[in-house]
Amino acid sequence: MAVVTLDQLTKIYDRGHAPAADAVSLEIRHGEFMVLLGPSGCGKTTTLRMIAGLESISSGTLSIDGQVVNTVPAKDRDIAMVFQSYALYPHMSVKNNLAFGLRRRAVPRDEIERRVSSVAATLGLSQLLDRRPHALSGGQRQRVALGRAIVRDPKVFLFDEPLSNLDAALRVSTRGEISALHRRLGATMIYVTHDQVEAMTMGSRICIMNGGKIVQVGEPLEVYRHPANTFVASFLGNPPMNLLRAAVTDDADGRGLRIGAWRIVIPAERMPALSVGTEVIFGIRPEKLSGTPQPGATSIDGEVVQVDPLGAETIFAARIPDVDKPLFARVGPDVPIKVGERRQLGVDLSAAHVFDAQGNALHP
Amino acid sequence: MTRPLRHSLLLILLAGYTAFAAGPFVWVAIMSLRTTTEIMADHFALPTIIHWDKFPTAWFNSNYNVYFKNSAMIVLSAVVILTIVGAMAAHCLARYRFRMNRVIYFILFSTIIFPPQITIISLFQILVQYGLYDTRVGLIFVYVAIQLPLTIYILESFFARIPADLFDAARIDGYSEWEIFWRVSFPIAIPAIATTVILNFILLWNEFLYAVVLITDDANRTLPLGIQRFMGDQLEDTGMIATGLMIAIIPVIIVYAFFSEKLIQGMTAGAVK
């Protein structure tokens, strides 16, 4: 286990271009499963590769257990990495793939034998030890890649989108295996992904990145419920949070919002103090809209333009007057909804979000 | 067109091509077992008496043992140097980002287009200056020089297809760049390396132009020069030339048979997932 500290870590590939990672500061605690989440090109893999020692650091400091390791070569950082492509040595058997790193570290032969057998047994690879990677399925290759990291017993595990080459079913089971591995080893793990489901289900904490910068760090549900800005709000959640341009009105002492022709009053505990006429962005998660509003609750009339029955739930989109974007709602599977019908949508305004015109969250 | 008819046409076509390709080889093989007098009497006849004794005669009396040893020593040394130096250079060009990488690659590659007649005079001058003219070591250097661009070209394209993650994984596993080359890159590139070994071996084993210009002493001659010795201005010992050709061809067949599977793997690598 180890503490990994990133202090203003920056990576510039080409002078004159925007940094790939821009002053990234983050502390990953002992035994924590930290997920770096973001869209392609947000700097998450660059940050991970700087931690691994595979990319030089342009500025800032990186420490592992308090020791600055900026110039320490990858092999001396006591880290192991699982790659997106698995990076198994194609000319070696599974056994040699697992033992390759240990041999270089002059681990005694019987100790290598013992560790390889133990890891192979844990990951269900015992029968495959003599096979070459090309004779393995995607899931088996993934497990060998995991085994190669585990067998080294490193201070820090790094994962670079390790599930992206697996099919959907295998991804779910491997997700569970990696989480179980983390619980069993209690090791510090840093996991890069662009998949919000992986981030939400596996991470102790999530670090969301965009444009080379950290946007928000926090526990998965905390980030989901309290997004720092509209980027996080729209990146987490499927469908993402509904975000609509709005203006503050003088209703209920300035707590009213006008969205197109629709006027609502935000509860005091969700509404920041703003002057009348201020342009804001109103946000509401799809699951906070309902197809059948409670009597007396806030509702809006909309025309259903799209229905996606997913079995366990139904997602539909409804267009409301004078608003260019449709609202997405997530409802139970038994709510009968048809494209083209007009219906009242219930809105749970106690879960409303208000962002300023630049997209930053506003709090009362 | 019916299926049997299609098959018959294909078979006729293939048989014709095989006869075209293998015919000269079979003819030389038959002549290698006949004397020059028999050949002059009838060029295309089958041997009435099989003269196996021509092989030991050629080997010992006509100096083929010396030419064979020279060829083997020169070509094997050149192929080993080419393989090691070529693989290292190709690995560097494919793997490392450095200033002028592509310029160096282009300069190396562009030398492939020069016909040998252009370089031969300068190479002759260089060898004379360094005291390497008419030596086997000199010819080894020349062979390495002329075949290196093609070797690098073939290997670079193969090395470039090895995923960079493998090198990163080996670095994290604790291996130095030198060890990564020998323990990861080189073994993975064996099919491509086999391709270059075969190509270089066959091309250099049959190489004549540089050898005839740069070697004069009979003790340093390679097999193609030895065979040429039997071609006189007035008369030719056709039977002995054919026997010499067969002796010269055997190593090529052995090398090809040994490496052909790897050669095909190397040529088709990446074509199928």
Q: What is the ipTM of this complex?
A: 0.84
CATH code of the domain in which B192 resides = 1.10.3720.10
Nearest to A79 among B172, B175, B184 (CB): B172
Smallest Cβ–Cβ distance between A104 and the set B168, B173, B188 belongs to B173
Average pLDDT (A292-313) is 87
Averaged pLDDT, A343-363: 91
- pLDDT tens for residues A62-105? 999 999 999 999 999 999 999 998 999 999 999 999 999 999 88
pLDDT of B266: 56
How many pairs of residues across A and B have Cβ atoms under 8 Å apart? Answer: 54
Chain B closest CA to A101's CA: distance in Å?
4
Asked whether residue B167 is domain-assigned, the answer is: yes
Among B166, B174, B187, whose Cβ lies nearest the Cβ of A75? B174
Chain A positions in Cβ-Cβ contact with residue B174 (cut-off 8 Å): 75, 101, 104-105
B73 occurs within a structural domain: yes
Return the structure tokens found at A310: 């997913």
List the Cα angle A54/A60/A62 in 5-degree steps: 55
- Chain position carrying tokens 């106690």: A350
- Select from B163, B174, B190 the Cβ nearest to the Cβ of A85: B163
Contacts of B179 in chain A (CB under 8 A): 104
When comparing pLDDT for A95 and A253, which is higher?
A95
Model confidence pLDDT, tens digit, residues A180-189: 989 988 999 9
Task: Mark out chain A residues that contact chain B at CB-CB < 8 A.
Answer: 52-54, 73-75, 79-81, 83-87, 89-91, 100-101, 104-105, 148, 152
Q: Is residue B35 part of a domain?
A: no
Residues of A in Cβ contact (< 8 Å) with B168 = 52, 54, 74, 81, 83, 87
Q: Identify which has the larger pLDDT, A137 or A16.
A: A137
Is the pTM of the predicted complex or chain greater than 0.90?
no
Report the residue of A76, A82, A103, A104 to disrupt the B interface, i.e. the one with the largest count of B CBs within 10 Å.
Answer: A104
Report angle CA B135, B139, B144 to the nearest 5 degrees.
150
All domains in chain A, ordered by first residue: 4-235 (3.40.50.300), 242-356 (2.40.50.140)
A299 pLDDT band, cuts 50/70/90, is confident
Transcribe A9-20 into DSSP letters. EEE-SSTTSPPS
- Residue B33 domain-assigned (yes or no): no
Task: Domain of residue B151: give its range.
Answer: 62-268
**Sign of the Cα pseudo-torsion (A332, A334, A336, A338, in order):** positive
For residue A158, how many other CB atoms are within 10 A of its CB? 26
Q: Measured between CA atoms, how close is B164 to chain A, in angstroms?
A: 9
Q: Is the pLDDT of residue A248 over 60?
A: yes
Question: What's the rounded mean pLDDT across residues A340-345?
Answer: 90
Q: Which H or E run contains A344?
A: strand A342-347
Q: Give the pLDDT confidence of A126-136 residue by residue, as tens digits.
A: 999 999 999 99
Radius of gyration of chain B (CA): 23
Q: Is residue B105 part of a domain?
A: yes
Strand partners, A281: A245, A355
Please state, in angstroms and rounded to a whole number, the distance separating the CA atoms of residues A91 and B182: 12
CB A277 within 8 A of CB A248: yes
Dihedral angle over CA of A101, A107, A112, A114, nearest 10: -140
Low-confidence ranges of chain B (pLDDT < 50): 270-273
Q: Is position B108 within any domain?
A: yes
Interface of B with A (CB under 8 A): 163, 165-166, 168-175, 179, 184, 187-188, 190
DSSP A136-178: S-HHHHHHHHHHHHHTT--SEEEEESTTTTS-HHHHHHHHHHH
Q: What proportion of chain A, given as a percentage, has pLDDT over 90? A: 69
Report pLDDT for B267: 55
pLDDT (0 to 100) of residue B273:
33
Q: Which chain B residue's Cα is nearest to A88?
A: B166
Rounded to whole angstroms, how far apart are CA atoms B230 and B262? 37
How would residue A313 be classed by pLDDT, with cut points 50, 70 and 90? very high
Mean pLDDT on A338-354: 91
Are B175 and A91 in contact (CB < 8 Å)?
no
Q: Contact A52/B172, CB-based, under 8 Å? A: yes
Q: Report if residue B211 sits inside a domain.
A: yes
Distance from CA of A141 to the nearest CA of B (A): 14
pLDDT on residue A228: 95
* Long-range interactions of B40-47: CB distance < 8 A, separation 24+: B40/B238
In a domain, B15, yes or no: no
- Residue-wise pLDDT tens digits, A203-230: 999 999 999 999 999 999 999 999 999 9
A89 and B190 within 8 Å at the Cβ level: the answer is: no
Q: Which residues from chain A sit within 8 angstroms of residue B175, using beta carbons?
A: 75, 104
**Number of domains making up chain B:** 1
What angle (nearest 5°) sits at the alpha carbon of residue A196, between those of residues A141 and A324?
140
**Residues of chain B with C-beta less than 8 angstroms from the C-beta of A75:** 171-175
